[in-house]
Amino acid sequence: MAMNSDRVMKGLQQAPHRSLFNALGFTEEERNKPLVGIVSSYNEIVPGHMNLDKITEAVKLAVAEAGGMPVVVPAIAVCDGIAMGHVGMKYSLVTRDLIADSTECLAKAHAFDGMVCIPNCDKNVPGLLMAAARVNIPTVFVSGGPMLAGRIDGHKTSLSSLFEAVGSVSAGKMTQEKLCEYEEKGCPTCGSCSGMYTANSMNCLTEAIGMGLPGNGTIPAVYSARIRLAKQAGYAVMNLIRNDIRPRDIMTKDAFMNAMTMDMALGCSTNTMLHLPAIAHEAGVDMNMEIANEVSARTPNLCHLAPAGPTYMEDLNEAGGVLGVMSELVKKDLLNLDVITATGKTLKENLVGAANRNPEVIRPIDNPYMQTGGIAVLKGNLAPDTGIVKKSAVVPEMMVHEGPARVFDCEEDAIDAILTGKIVEGDVVVIRYEGPKGGPGMREMLNPTSAIAGRGLGSTVALITDGRFSGASRGASIGHVSPEAAVGGPIALVEEGDIISIDIPNNALNVKVSDEELAKRREKWQPREPEVKTGYLLRYREMVTSGNRGAILEIPKV
């Protein structure tokens, strides 16, 4: 079978190429094997990635043992937690496209025959999935795994508790000494942060979409089972190469529907609503986010992991993991079982022996947390395209809410108002000019949502933004409002004191202002002067599309 790597390995004109492989220390025997790129996101700044050197070595060993020639190449990653609440967060989402582009460059330039992608945290999971779909050579994903939960006063905790604790201290509800204890114990191991935040959401969905092996989403980073899984990924990619099974064979329309269904059942981060359409775009699959409500209507929400509830990724793993959740969904025929996966087998074959081993962690399908899924798409005169909310993390009394708008043109101003007691019960905090173009970079609003929760306002105050939220956010937090303020979306026209109406059960988000008044305001509206005028963020701002389209990049039309 002809291989991609033949163009750099075989033939008279490839003598210079072979010489360079000799310079790398590869033998003739190795050069005759399939060339497998091990795309490792290892670094020493992201806690979820500090163990990826061990994952990488395990993958390399297995690829070589199975008859391949492994070569390690890098992928970047940003720690969203460290980047949170300052200019650094502008550089988080934008790395998704850098990762996809650079991986495409490495794979194409060096004629890889296959890849094993080793991500873990928020943007490099979808970035590498986008690259896999784009390059379309046999590929398997194995993440670094989730962090174990922290333990304070006999209870499990996680990073989201730290952010909320800051608000509690500012409100006088927690001592500085207790905050220090949270600081010491909240993040006890390496790994992606321990709740159903974006990294773990995307790693679970990588499994659901068929690109990761069973266990990829939930086996903790510090478990030796994670090393064994890495070896299995090395064996699996060689099997895919031999059978010529490629990402676009796996990431089909049916596979994306499975992923969306799992998204609803698990109660994943709202960021999945950005990443799934972007990945689908690269795979040549049309995925309109409005379909999310249709999927939600038929998919019960079975899991309430942190921040929605008191369980963590280690609990989901012990309860049966992603396959355990799937074992409930198949009872009502909610998944397409004929799709091919990275195991080389169908999903139906992968599910043999899968079971829900703890109905307190994974609710039985006849006793769900909600009869509908964990995420909702809202529309109305404030969000003509979309607004996204993680409704599984909203308290019942905030599912329907009306209140006066408290308007801020950046995250920092909103945080200052919240922490200094200027936001009161009933308010609707509006943070705008934080969208893909307006930010630029669509910052996460974990600091404001955590400050609201920490001050005891989580059941009375809502937050609306054209930015986005961390998976660690909870409450009536509505993001991805599209069109965004920077392009003149209605959120740019909201004024202090306008009454905002939120109706999550009916998927509605409106400002109680007449069409005539909004039209008058639009005539006076002027685009906000962008702060960023140089560098990568400038190029990103010019090319990025709306949040409802997944914030994908397109060449501007002249």
Task: Give me the active site residues, please.
Answer: 470
User: Strand, helix or coil at 525?
Assistant: coil
Judge whether 273 and 93 are in contact, CB under 8 Å: no
CA pair distance 219, 230, nearest whole angstrom: 11
Task: For residue 372, give the DSSP letter.
Answer: S
Token pair recorded at residue 337: 């079982």
Q: How far is CA 261 from CA 179, 202, 351, in A?
A: 38, 13, 16
Contact 62, 233 (CB under 8 A): yes
3-state secondary structure of 454: helix
- Using CA of residue 176, residue 180, residue 181, residue 182, what is the dihedral sign? positive
Cα–Cα distance for residue pair 79/159, rounded to 1 Å: 12
* 514 three-state secondary structure: coil
Which structure tokens are listed for 205?
A: 């969905």
Tell me the DSSP string of 223-261: SHHHHHHHHHHHHHHHHHHHHT--HHHHS-HHHHHHHHH
What whole-number distance in Å separates Cα of residue 221 and Cα of residue 219? 7
Q: How far apart are CA 504 and CA 195, in angstroms?
A: 23
**For the stretch 166-186, what's the b/e string if a residue is b when 16 or more beta carbons lie within 10 angstroms of its beta carbon?**
bbbbbbeebeeeeeeebeebb
Is residue 278 within 8 Å of 545, Cβ to Cβ? no
**DSSP class of residue 428?**
E
d(CA 541, CA 554): 11
